[in-house]
Amino acid sequence: SAVISQKPSRDICQRGTSLTIQCQVDSQVTMMFWYRQQPGQSLTLIATANQGSEATYESGFVIDKFPISRPNLTFSTLTVSNMSPEDSSIYLCSVGFGTNQPQHFGDGTRLSIL
Amino acid sequence: GQQVMQIPQYQHVQEGEDFTTYCNSSTTLSNIQWYKQRPGGHPVFLIQLVKSGEVKKQKRLTFQFGEAKKNSSLHITATQTTDVGTYFCAGAATNKLIFGTGTLLAVQP
């Protein structure tokens, strides 16, 4: 399966700042996704990153807060903007070959906001 | 909206005991997938079930997909300490994968 590198692995940020998380895959993939996982909770899909076009956001998530880029088939970024303590979470990127197909996850970014 | 619930939320077993987690969807699924997340780790894909009534085995793990394609189960025979983690089912429907609430398995040696 694809090797997925996610950076940074963790960060502690100040309230009101923004952080960009990078996801790099070692091979071209059709689909890239961004999830949020609160400690001890399930995974919630933030958006599907579309290559060359705007991401598709899930209910409750907006582009102004979570801008996403996907310039090619192996790379995507998620920015968490104007952070507040409620944004403290694990952010995961995943890849797959279809919206209903198995996904492979990066190691995640553990984000804490003070 | 579509929901995928799992029970139990948490289970603690003695090593060697069996374990089962159940997954129920509010809607009919095109397929169901199972993932394992070790403490501090990321979810790892285990298996995908597509057909109604399908049963698949991976060593001590047995996965079932219900006849109505709305429920599934994962059974582990003779648990080992390496089985510790959270098991998530993920239901595929309407071009989206919805992760279940998860079952945390603790195994006491």
Write the pLDDT tens digit of every residue in B45-81.
Answer: 999 999 999 999 999 999 999 999 999 999 999 999 9
pLDDT digits (tens, 9 = 90+) for B24-33: 999 999 999 9
> Residue B1: its pLDDT value, please?
76
Asked whether the beta carbons of B107 and B21 are under 8 A apart, the reply is: no
Give the pair of three-digit tokens for residue B7. Answer: 């029970």
> Is B66 in the A-facing interface, judged by CB distances under 8 Å?
no
Nearest-angstrom CA–CA distance, A3 and A104: 9
Split into its structural domains, chain B has a count of 1
Residue B37 banded pLDDT, cuts 50, 70, 90: very high
> Is B87 in the A-facing interface, judged by CB distances under 8 Å?
no
**What is the average per-residue pLDDT within A1-24?**
96
pLDDT digits (tens, 9 = 90+) for A52-64: 888 999 999 999 9
Range of the domain at B68: 4-108
Residue from the list A1, A44, A108 with its beta carbon closest to the beta carbon of B42: A108
Nearest-angstrom CA–CA distance, B103 and A33: 23
CATH number at residue B8: 2.60.40.10
Strand pairing of A109-113 and A10-13? parallel
A30-81 — its CATH code? 2.60.40.10
At residue A1, does pLDDT exceed 80?
no
